Amino acid sequence: MDYFPLFLNLKQQACLIVGGGEIAVRKLRLLRSAGADVTVVSPELCDEMHDLVRSGEVRWQPAQFSITQITGQRLVIAATDQASVNQAVFSACEAAGILVNAVDDPSHSRFITPAIIDRAPLTIAISTGGGVPVLARHLRAQLEALIPHGWGNLAQLGSELRQYCKEKMPDPAQRREFWEAVLAGPIPDQVFSGQIEHARAQLIAAIDHPETTPSGAVYLVGSGPGNPDLLTFRALRLMQQADVVLYDNLVSAEIMEMVRRDAERIYVGKKSNNHALPQEEINQLLVRLALEGKKVLRLKGGDPFIFGRGGEEIEELAQHGIAFEVVPGITSAAGASCYAGIPLTHRDYAQSVTFVTGHRKDGEVDLDWPRLVNPSETVVVYMGVAQAGYIAEQLMSHGRDQHTLVAIIERATTAQQRVVTTTLIELAERIEQEGIKPPALLIIGDVVQLHDKLKWC
């Protein structure tokens, strides 16, 4: 290794920054976040550093650097644009055995500052040895997106219960296996979702009874309209952690490719009038798998609470005392309209929007037709392709103009997306002519005329 990675406790430790410009400000904020007692030496200060001096965050010595200023310092940073000054600071600190860094000058540094991901008390540092700091920042940005802020809370919780765990489990090997099981179970997700006290109680119970079979949990996750890039970070993390995944017909193959490779996959697909499993059996299966101690991912197209029967599934879980979490997804109406360049509301065309489903119940589409005929309202119909002719007929018979524009959006947000525009009177015929198949939805209203102008993909 070019550098030995080390974390320093600088709380209330004397540290010196030589320089008063913008770079010095950045280093000051870093040291202050670690609790250091900082003094700045510089004949002049930038405006931001002046503000920090006035607020009491730093002491200022308005002078040129001299060797006497390093006396009693734990750490020194040279942040000037003068190579001779930086070299003098380095030489003085080397002679005194004080840790020193010259910003952007590894040859005059005994240590370098890494790119930092702060999830205190969890801290992750990335370094390229001072050679390519932009690369370290690039990697940090990627990890920032992948590591939930809740990991810091989890680390804090584990620290608080560490001694209690040692007393209950004196054997280090047993403790290691215990913590590995905890991190693979539902407790971290409870912390990430803000249920810290509940997680604390669960963790204490697990410490008191380490041989108990771990309890499972169910995660009801919206996978969005089909494009993997539209998944939430939370959805992606859970997809890569699940023991078993229940997925339906609207979850794209590209999204399923992102599921943990060794997870069990159960297709419970739903197509019009063709369900692989009835809803009641899906509910019971979720309960059974969770009671077996598994981490169960219920992956749904779009958003689980918009025509996804998510409420029915978590009602069953709640009745059996199963821990669950709901992760929202981009609903198909939002994804389809954005990718088609059709705003669902617009001051000139529509002041409201209504989502309805064209899925038949007992053979009929049962909607409140009179309230769907307002010309200033956009109507979005989910699962409406098969019943498009009947829907158009009912809207027209209740007063919606037969020339009202309709957009049919097939496989929205994916590379196979297709947008066909027509009118209510021609809707059924156009669907048949174009050979449109589900998944597709309908957008009905004057906003559809913006498609040609605003489409971007």
**pLDDT tens, residue by residue, 343-377:** 999 999 999 999 999 876 555 678 999 999 999 99
CB-CB contact of 13 with 37 (8 Å): yes
pLDDT of residue 214: 61
User: What's the pLDDT at 307?
Assistant: 92
Strands of the 405-410 sheet, one edge to the other: 352-357, 377-382, 440-444, 405-410, 418-423
Contact 345, 238 (CB under 8 A): no
Beta bridge partners of residue 405, listed in sequence order? 423
Would you say 128 and 95 are in contact if contact means Cβ atoms under 8 Å apart?
A: no
Q: In the annotation, is 27 catalytic?
A: no
Q: Catalytic: which of 27, 248, 294, 303?
A: 248
For residues 324 and 315, is the Cβ–Cβ distance under 8 A? Answer: no
Residue 189: the pLDDT is 86
**Residue owning tokens 């540290």:** 15
The catalytically annotated residue of 27, 270, 294, 300 is: 270
Residue 272, pLDDT score: 53
C-alpha–C-alpha distance, residues 217 and 263, integer Å: 15
Residue 253, number of CB atoms within 10 A of its CB: 8
Strands 122-126, 115-119: parallel, antiparallel or unpaired by DSSP? antiparallel
Question: Hey, what's the torsion of the CAs at 275, 276, 280, 281, to 10 degrees?
Answer: 170
The answer to whether 308 and 300 have CB atoms below 8 angstroms apart is yes
Query: Containing H/E element for 105?
Result: none
Are 79 and 17 in contact by the 8 Å Cβ rule? The answer is yes
**What angle is formed at CA 147 by the lines to CA 190 and CA 142, rounded to 5 degrees?**
155
Q: Which residues contact 228 (CB under 8 A, 6 or more apart)?
A: 252, 254, 255, 257, 258
Summarised one tens digit per residue, pLDDT across range 222-276 is: 999 999 999 998 899 899 888 899 999 889 999 999 998 889 999 997 655 555 6
Ranges in the chain, pLDDT < 70: 211-214, 270-276, 360-364
3-state secondary structure of 244: strand
Q: Check residue 240 and give its pLDDT.
A: 87
Cis peptide before 121 (omega within 30 of 0): yes
Yes or no: say if 451 and 421 are a contact pair by the CB < 8 Å rule. yes
Distances (CA, A) of 114 to 1, 36, 44, 139, 397: 15, 17, 27, 11, 68
270: annotated active-site residue: yes
pLDDT on residue 174:
86
Phi, psi of 333 (to 5 degrees): -60, -40
